[in-house]
Amino acid sequence: MGARSAASVLVLLVVAGCGSSSNSGDGGSADLSAAAGPDMLLPTRCGHPGDVGNSLGVGQFCTNQGPDCSTNSKAKSCSALFNGQTPSPTDSYFCSFQCQPTDPPGTCGENAVCLCDVTVICGCVPTSCIPPGDGGA
């Protein structure tokens, strides 16, 4: 997959939207280099410290500062690559990979679906991140 294609997929993943969020409320920036612990709060739409992902790695927590997605069997791209410079509630932190709307069910592994944007750029997204009414491919 080319760099432009990978970038498009991860943009989709960030835009896809996820159902949960957390916010420290202190107005400061999160130190993403710190070890993830139960008290670490990231403003995020999807992906939280401790998320392990499925058997392909889809949904595993990542920050692009470590841990990353390189050891996963298939989901080797981190959605955090396209987060802004300042932590935001629209950010996402999960491993994924590109898929096609014609791929057979289960391509993304358990608890994940292939979700496409209007230009039919698709990526595997954890089902817990899909907004109501958006069923994926």
- What pLDDT score was predicted for residue 51? 93
Q: Per DSSP, what are the bridge partners of residue 126?
A: 112
- What pLDDT score was predicted for residue 84? 84
- What pLDDT score was predicted for residue 6? 41
Q: Mean pLDDT in runs of 10 for the chain (137 residues)?
A: 42 39 40 44 84 96 83 92 84 93 94 86 90 61
**Side-chain half-sphere CA neighbours of 127 within 13 A:** 10
- What pLDDT score was predicted for residue 67? 65
Q: Residue 69 and residue 90: Cα distance in Å, rounded? A: 20
Total-model pTM:
0.67
- What pLDDT score was predicted for residue 66? 67
- What pLDDT score was predicted for residue 72? 93
